[in-house]
């Protein structure tokens, strides 16, 4: 089954007009480099095309960042054309693009739709201006509303909204207000992330210097359950720790590849790729990326060959992040471990305590299990 | 022989023996600045790190005295902890004099006295040295007063020194030459040499450390150990400089080493006498005693695959530690392992650390126990040092446990709290006398098991470090004993079982449950910890479940990082033992012995 799966293609657009306070993605505020960057991207595509990467074809494309919507319509168009000519892209491919409120006009959105982008992921984060400001987002709640409406108007029928909860000063009640606003657009997909503080981000420093703290365990759990319950009521499946879809067909096909260990190729600075037990990633430096490719050198910065044990661990912790969980037979075939026997006693405890279910040959987390997905992987 | 001086430095723990030894070594120029490191005689990493001496050590110092003559000063450095007091006594038996160090700030402490008594028993010349005079808190007048009233020594004979700053060193060296008598004995008599230590060398086998009292010994001689009549052919003899220095022979009065193809240190008994096979001395030198372990615990590998590694490591470790004993053992909860005997908890701690460090093993120790004696209804007598072998209660006629006499010295102001502690530890037959203004010597008879159970730490804490403590085992006394088990999520963990006094059982069980609650990390489900006697639950605690990970997103670029994090956590879990579905960390097994009073 896994063999017939097609790969995912990720393109990282490493530019933002300013840096959000919590963000640890690689992006820089140098849009003047965009034309050079696009040239380099095209070179990278050619590079992989001529390499003997054992990837049959792709059925998802994901334009992420950074802020891909800083690229002009024409640039997106060129990029997608290049992708199609360099790689075998399935006709029904899911083509997602991340957009930030405030950056895109209705016309821009219409063009995206025309050029084949069929899924939009909007970085709303919150419908509360105070929180948006706290997070260092460049847009307002109003702009988030506008872009969501405009996306629908442009004909997008697969829209995802990204939201963040657990921000200092935000209790569960306030968060649910944002969630309700989001639901009013009836998005096909929602990503609800608990705020995490990444080292070296301004927010990390601010939390420390102002003595702020993230929600404690029990409050974090309240957020988690409240979100899941409200969204279940509204008809969403909680299919991954932080992801919800209005039915299976609206799950992010691209992101699911990460959790299912399906190969993916990442283009652009800092992008990660995974194929045939190997993971590699490009240099996280736009200038070096451009330079390397212009000199015909590889943009790959580092790589790792995963041991059987590492693959098994990854398959476990990635699989257990998803509501579908792990296909036990397949896991045994791929990793040589019969989890039911090897972890009998612990799994027994987990089942008894309502953290996992074992049904139809699958080991899958319950909602309480999803809350401790990482710990589950340590069984 | 006229130009030899054999001496030792004795003191209460931490009063500065090793530091003074360093200064003497430096002063006599055995070691140049380049090779010098602090605590030169503390060879083991663990000694350096903890700043304590575990093994005895010897070194010959050449010294040109003010009278123009050159002397060989044989210094024997000794350990300072109660666990190793027999080694101290054998080292002392090898000397004619001692430097008695007294910390200028702390004054006379229990082991100052205990060591002084030992030195007196051996008729040694005693040179009192007030050390650490550089400390702002030094109170020399008080110490002089204590030397007079508590030690009964002439205060005029003292030397003031700071081992740290190197003051008083020459005065000490001169006093060694002038005041410590040269050894007696004759090189022509039959050989009599006292073994005061033995070390293992991977190339040469056992290096016997000895003091020759009579006769002489050289390579080629056939020697005999008088304890077991084993004979060996001498390969090499020599002195201790910084390294071993081979010599033609060792003669009466000298301190040095013998290499004689002895395979392990366990073939050698500290305190034994070496003589010649064909011309033996009339009898062994006095004072031989076989040291016996008093604390027992089982060692298990955390991963059962490591059993063979553990077996090999113990065998190697044993080569160098004759007081450590072990035999095979197995536990229902922890699998195959070894039952081991130790001189005390410090010894146990050291063995554990060395196994982990030098042999790279992850091990678990069961709760330590003393050796109990049971008389069964059919008249049989059983010694039980392993709770797993606790006899069927229905068959027990009488249970007995070992008692010790504890000697403590403390400032009077702590008397109340120390007596309270001793009573709590079932102390009886107390004895008290004032050894000086404001200072009390206190003794109690107490069950050894109570002393192991965190007595020492609590004593230190109630006396704020001013109290000192030493003990001797006296006898077995009848005691109402029960076996207390610990259950983790309903499963008995035999390595956590303890034999306890019935009246203490509930308190001990509660304490164990609380301690385990602190030690066992929260897991994804609730963990119930229970203490039980037979089927009766006498204590319980609950570890609440861990319910939320901080794990917001995980996409292509996050996976490697997340995996590394989980790998690290998995590595940490490897240092825990899975019992049923609960991971129990190593530390939990010893923690149940600590109480939360401090
Ligand atoms: N201020 C001061 N500190 C000293 C002096 N002599 C030793 N010390 C310190 O006292 C502590 C104990 O010294 P050691 O030489 O290790 O004592 P010890 O008697 O060998 O200890 P054990 O072997 O554990 O019994 C160390 O921290 C030394 O640095 C001194 O003259 N002055
Ligand atoms: S827009 Fe996205 S990528 Fe850019 S700084 Fe903000 S969070 Fe980071
Ligand atoms: Mg020392």
What CATH code is carried by the domain that includes residue B55? 3.40.50.300
**The pLDDT value given to residue B78:** 72
Q: What is the pLDDT of residue A226?
A: 97
Picking from B528, B551, B561, B573 by the largest number of A CB atoms within 10 A of its own CB, the best residue to mutate is B551
Query: Is B48 within a domain?
Result: yes
Distance from C-alpha of B340 to C-alpha of A243, rounded to nearest angstrom: 54
Are B83 and B101 contained in the same domain? yes
Q: Is A293 part of a structural domain of the chain?
A: no
Residues A153 and A95 in one domain: yes
| Cβ burial B437-453 (10 Å sphere, 16+ → b, else e) | eebbbbbbbbbbbbbbb
CB of B474 less than 8 A from some CB of A:
no
Each residue's pLDDT tens digit, B238-254: 998 878 889 999 999 99
Q: What is the pLDDT of residue B37?
A: 61
Name every chain B residue with its beta carbon within 8 A of the beta carbon of A258.
554-556, 559
Ligand 1 close to Cβ of residue B57 (< 6 A) = no
pLDDT at B52: 59
Contacts 24+ apart (CB under 8 A), B592-596: B592/B367, B592/B486, B592/B496, B592/B498, B592/B511, B592/B512, B592/B515, B592/B516, B593/B367, B593/B368, B593/B452, B593/B453, B593/B454, B594/B454, B594/B457, B594/B515, B595/B453, B595/B454, B595/B458, B595/B511, B596/B511, B596/B514, B596/B515
Bridging pattern class, strands B381-384 and B363-365? unpaired
Does residue A282 lie within any of the structural domains?
A: no
- What is the pLDDT, as a whole number, of residue B17? 87
Q: Is B448 among the domain residues?
A: yes
Please say whether the beta carbons of B229 and B241 come within 8 A: no
Structure tokens at A321: 């992040």
- Indicate whether B556 and B435 sit together in one domain: no
Q: What are phi and psi of B4, to 5 degrees?
A: -110, 140
A203 touches chain B (CB under 8 A): no
Digit-coded pLDDT (tens) for A249-291: 999 999 999 999 999 999 999 999 999 899 999 999 999 999 9
- Check whether residue A62 and residue A145 sit in a common domain: yes
Q: Are A40 and A185 members of one domain?
A: yes
User: Do the domain assignments include residue A338?
Assistant: yes
User: Based on the domain organization, do B263 and B389 belong to the same domain?
Assistant: no
Does residue A116 form part of some domain? yes
Q: Read off the pLDDT of residues B249-272 as tens digits, 9 standing for 90 and up.
A: 999 999 999 999 998 888 898 899
- Indicate if A206 and A329 belong to the same structural domain: no
Here the CATH number for the domain that contains residue A42 is: 3.20.20.70
Closest ligand 1 atom to B80 CA: 25
Q: Does B486 lie in the same domain as B450?
A: no
pLDDT confidence of residue A1: 37
pLDDT of res. B206: 92
What pLDDT is recorded for position B598?
41
Q: Does residue A218 share a domain with residue A319? A: no
Report the largest interatomic distance among the alpha carbons of chain A, rounded to a whole angstrom: 59
Task: Give the tens place of pLDDT for each residue, A54-94.
Answer: 887 999 999 998 999 999 999 999 999 999 999 999 999 99
Q: Which domain holds residue A91?
A: 7-259
Count of structural domains, chain B: 5
Q: Among A45, A52, A54, A48, which Cα is nearest to A5's?
A: A54
| d(C-alpha B382, C-alpha B506), whole Å | 25
A197: helix, coil or strand? coil
Rg (CA), chain A: 21
**B69 and B161 in one domain?**
yes
The reply to whether B386 falls in a domain is: yes
E-assigned strand segments in B268-366: 273-276, 295-301, 325-331, 335-342, 363-365
Q: What is the rounded CA–CA span in Å between residue A103 and residue A110? A: 14
Shared domain check, B354 and B256:
no
Residues A249 and A314 in one domain: no
> Tokens 């600590």 — which residue?
B594
ipTM here? 0.95
Q: In the listed set B155, B179, B203, which residue is the last one of a domain according to the structure?
A: B179
With an 8 Å Cβ cutoff, is A24 touching chain B?
no
Here the CATH number for the domain that contains residue B224 is: 2.40.30.10
**Distance from Cα B129 to the centre of ligand 3, integer Å:** 16
The answer on B160 and B200 residing in a single domain is no
Task: Tell me the CATH number at A327.
Answer: 1.10.10
Contact B550 A273 (CB under 8 A): no
A161, part of any domain: yes
A201 chain-B contacts, CB cut-off 8 A: none
Last residue within a domain, chosen from B210, B241, B276: B276
Q: Would residue A196 be called left, alpha or beta, if left means φ above 0 and alpha means ψ between -120 and 50 degrees?
A: beta
| Arithmetic mean of pLDDT, B510-515 | 93
Q: Is the CB of B115 under 6 A from ligand 1?
A: no
Residues B227 and B361 in one domain: no
Q: Check the CA dihedral A221-A222-A223-A225 and report its sign.
A: positive
Whose tokens are 């554990």? That residue is B352
pLDDT for position B249: 95
CATH number for position B547: 3.30.70.2570
Residues B559 and B534 grouped into a single domain: yes
Instruction: Check: CB of residue B528 under 8 Å from CB of residue B545.
Output: no
Confidence category of residue B133, pLDDT binned at 50, 70, 90: very high
Would you tell me the crossing angle of helices B169-179 and B17-28 to the nearest 10 degrees?
90
User: In this structure, are residues A336 and A311 in contact, taking their beta carbons and an 8 Å threshold?
Assistant: no
The Cα A113–Cα A159 span in angstroms is 12
Q: Could you tell me which residues come within 8 angstroms of residue B335 by beta carbon, excluding any fewer than 6 positions away? A: B300, B301, B304, B307
- A57 and A192 share one domain: yes
**In-domain check, residue A266:** no
Neighbours of ion ligand 3 (CB under 5 A): B 17-18, 53
Of the residues A194, A227, A259, the one at which a domain ends: A259
DSSP A124-181: EE-S-HHHHHHHT-SS-HHHHHHHHHHHHHTT-S-EEEEEEE--TT--HHHHHHHHHH
Task: Summarize pLDDT for A191-215 with one digit per residue, the tens.
Answer: 999 999 998 899 999 999 999 999 9
Q: How far apart are the first and last CA of chain A?
A: 27
Write the pLDDT tens digit of every residue in A229-238. Answer: 999 999 999 9
Question: pLDDT (tens digit, 9 = 90+) per residue, B555-592?
Answer: 999 999 999 999 999 888 877 888 888 889 888 887 88
Q: Which residues contact A333 (CB under 8 A, 6 or more apart)?
A: none
Asked, for residue B56, whether it belongs to a domain, the answer is: yes
Mean pLDDT value across residues A340-369: 94
Would you place residue B435 in the very low, low, confident or very high pLDDT band (cuts 50, 70, 90)?
confident
Q: Is B185 within a domain?
A: no
Same domain, A153 and A84: yes
Measured CA to CA, the distance from residue B86 to residue B472 in angstroms comes to 11
Domain with B313 in it: 295-365
Same domain, A225 and A117: yes
Give domain status of residue B186, yes or no: no
The confidence band for A2, taking pLDDT boundaries of 50, 70 and 90, is very low
Bigger pLDDT: A122 or B199? A122
One domain for residues B52 and B107? yes
pLDDT mean over B534-548: 94
Domain boundary among B340, B365, B390: B365
Assess if residue A294 is contained within a domain. no
Q: What percent of chain B has pLDDT over 90?
A: 57
Instruction: Flag whether B422 is in a domain.
Output: yes
Nearest CA in chain A to B489: A349
Decide if pLDDT at B104 tops 90. yes
Model confidence at B344: pLDDT above 90: no
**Number of domains into which chain A is organized:** 2
Nearest CA to ligand 2 atom 6: A20
- Tell whether A313 is within 8 A of chain B (Cβ): yes
Report the pLDDT value the prediction gives residue B149, as an integer from 0 to 100: 85
Residues A229 and A362 in one domain: no
B394 in the same domain as B432: yes
Residue A184 has pLDDT above 80, yes or no: yes
Question: pLDDT averaged over chain B?
Answer: 89
Give, using CA atoms, the residue closest to atom 3 of ligand 2.
Answer: A66
In a domain, residue B86? The reply is yes
> Atom 24, ligand 1: which residue's CA is nearest?
B52
Same domain, A95 and A239: yes
Same domain? B43 vs B151: yes
Per-residue buried b or exposed e for B175-185, using 16+ beta carbons within 10 Å of the residue's own CB: bbbeebeebeb
Q: Is A317 on the interface with B (CB under 8 A)?
A: yes
Domain end, chosen from A259, A276, A294, is at: A259
CA A52 from centre of chain: 27
């Amino acid at each position: 089954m896994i063999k017939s799966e097609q790969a995912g293609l990720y393109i990282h657009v490493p530019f933002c007009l300013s840096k959000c306070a919590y963000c640890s993605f690689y992006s820089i505020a140098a849009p003047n480099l965009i034309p050079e960057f696009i040239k380099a991207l095209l070179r990278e595509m050619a590079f992989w095309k001529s390499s003997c990467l054992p990837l049959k074809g792709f059925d998802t494309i994901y334009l992420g960042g950074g802020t891909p919507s800083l690229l002009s319509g024409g640039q997106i168009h060129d990029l997608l054309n290049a992708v199609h000519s360099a790689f075998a892209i399935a006709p029904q491919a899911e083509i997602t693009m991340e957009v930030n409120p405030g950056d895109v006009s209705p016309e821009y959105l219409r063009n995206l739709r025309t050029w084949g982008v069929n899924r939009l992921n909007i970085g709303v984060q919150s419908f509360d201006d105070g929180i948006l400001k706290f997070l260092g987002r460049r847009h307002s709640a109003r702009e988030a509303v506008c872009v969501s409406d405009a996306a629908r108007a442009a004909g997008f029928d697969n829209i995802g909204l990204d939201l963040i909860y657990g921000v200092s000063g935000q209790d569960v009640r306030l968060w649910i207000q944002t969630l309700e606003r989001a639901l009013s657009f009836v998005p096909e997909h929602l990503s609800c992330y608990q705020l995490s503080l990444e080292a070296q981000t301004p927010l990390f420093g601010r939390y420390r210097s102002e003595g702020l703290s993230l929600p404690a365990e029990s409050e974090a759990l309240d957020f988690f359950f409240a979100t899941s319950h409200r969204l279940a009521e509204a008809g969403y499946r909680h299919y991954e720790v932080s992801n919800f879809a209005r039915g299976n067909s609206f799950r992010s096909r691209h992101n699911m590849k990460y959790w299912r260990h399906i190969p993916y190729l990442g283009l652009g600075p800092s992008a990660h790729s995974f194929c045939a037990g190997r993971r590699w990633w490009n240099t996280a430096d736009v200038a070096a990326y451009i330079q390397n490719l212009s000199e015909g050198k590889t943009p790959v910065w580092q790589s790792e060959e995963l041991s059987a044990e590492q693959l098994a661990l990854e398959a476990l912790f990635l699989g257990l992040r998803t509501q579908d969980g792990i296909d036990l037979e397949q896991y045994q075939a791929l990793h040589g471990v019969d989890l039911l026997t090897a972890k009998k006693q612990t799994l027994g405890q987990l089942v008894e305590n309502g953290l996992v279910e074992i049904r139809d040959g699958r080991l899958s987390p319950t909602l309480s299990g999803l809350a401790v997905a990482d710990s589950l992987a340590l069984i | 022989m006229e130009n030899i001086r054999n001496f030792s430095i004795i003191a209460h723990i931490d009063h500065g023996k090793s530091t003074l030894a360093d200064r003497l070594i430096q002063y006599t120029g055995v070691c140049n600045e380049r090779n010098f490191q602090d605590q030169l005689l503390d060879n083991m990493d663990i000694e350096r790190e903890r700043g304590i001496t575990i093994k005895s050590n010897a070194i010959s110092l050449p010294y040109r005295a003010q009278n123009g003559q050159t002397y060989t000063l044989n210094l024997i450095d000794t350990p300072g902890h109660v666990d190793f007091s027999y080694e101290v006594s054998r080292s002392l038996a090898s000397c004619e004099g001692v430097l008695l160090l007294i910390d200028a700030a702390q004054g006379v402490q229990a082991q100052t006295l205990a060591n002084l008594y030992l030195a007196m028993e051996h008729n040694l010349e005693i040179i009192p040295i007030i050390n650490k005079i550089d400390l702002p808190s030094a109170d020399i007048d008080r110490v002089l007063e204590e030397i007079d009233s508590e030690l009964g020594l002439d205060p005029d004979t003292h030397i003031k020194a700071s081992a740290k700053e190197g003051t008083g060193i020459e005065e000490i060296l001169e006093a060694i030459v002038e005041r410590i008598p040269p050894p007696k004995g004759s090189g022509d008599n039959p050989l009599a040499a006292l073994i005061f230590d033995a070390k293992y060398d991977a190339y040469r086998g056992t290096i016997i450390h000895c003091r020759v009292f009579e006769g002489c010994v050289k390579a080629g001689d056939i020697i005999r150990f008088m304890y077991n009549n084993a004979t060996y052919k001498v390969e090499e003899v020599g002195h201790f400089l910084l390294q071993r220095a081979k010599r033609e022979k060792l003669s009466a009065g000298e301190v040095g080493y013998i290499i004689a193809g002895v395979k392990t240190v366990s073939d050698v008994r500290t305190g034994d006498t070496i003589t010649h096979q064909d011309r033996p001395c009339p009898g062994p030198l006095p004072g031989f005693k076989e040291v016996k372990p008093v604390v027992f615990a089982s060692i298990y590998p955390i991963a059962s695959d490591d059993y063979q590694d553990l077996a090999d490591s113990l065998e190697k470790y044993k080569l160098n530690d004759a007081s450590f004993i072990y035999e095979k053992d197995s536990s229902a909860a922890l699998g195959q392992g070894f039952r081991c005997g130790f001189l005390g908890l410090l010894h146990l701690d050291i063995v554990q650390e060395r196994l982990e460090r030098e042999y790279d093993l992850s091990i678990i120790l069961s709760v330590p126990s003393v050796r109990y004696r049971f008389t069964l209804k059919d008249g049989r007598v059983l010694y039980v040092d392993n709770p797993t072998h606790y006899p069927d209660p229905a068959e027990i006629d009488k249970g007995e446990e070992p008692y010790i006499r504890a000697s403590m010295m403390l400032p009077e102001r702590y008397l109340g709290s120390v007596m309270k502690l001793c009573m709590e530890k079932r102390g009886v037959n107390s004895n008290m006398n004032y050894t000086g203004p404001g200072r009390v010597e206190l003794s109690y008879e107490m069950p050894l098991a109570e002393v192991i159970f965190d007595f020492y730490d609590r004593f230190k804490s109630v006396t704020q470090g001013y109290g000192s403590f030493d003990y001797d085992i006296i006898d077995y006394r009848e005691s109402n004993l029960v076996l207390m088990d610990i259950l983790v999520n309903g499963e008995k963990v035999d390595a956590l079982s303890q034999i306890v006094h019935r009246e203490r059982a509930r308190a001990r069980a509660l304490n164990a449950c609380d301690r385990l609650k602190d030690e066992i990390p929260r897991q994804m489900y609730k963990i119930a910890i229970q203490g039980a006697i037979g089927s009766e639950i006498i204590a319980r605690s609950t570890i609440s479940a861990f319910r939320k990970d901080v794990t917001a997103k995980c996409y292509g670029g996050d996976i490697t990082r997340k995996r590394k994090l989980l790998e690290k956590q998995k590595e940490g879990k490897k240092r825990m033992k899975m019992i049923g579905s609960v991971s129990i960390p190593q530390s939990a097994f010893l923690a149940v012995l600590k109480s939360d009073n401090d």
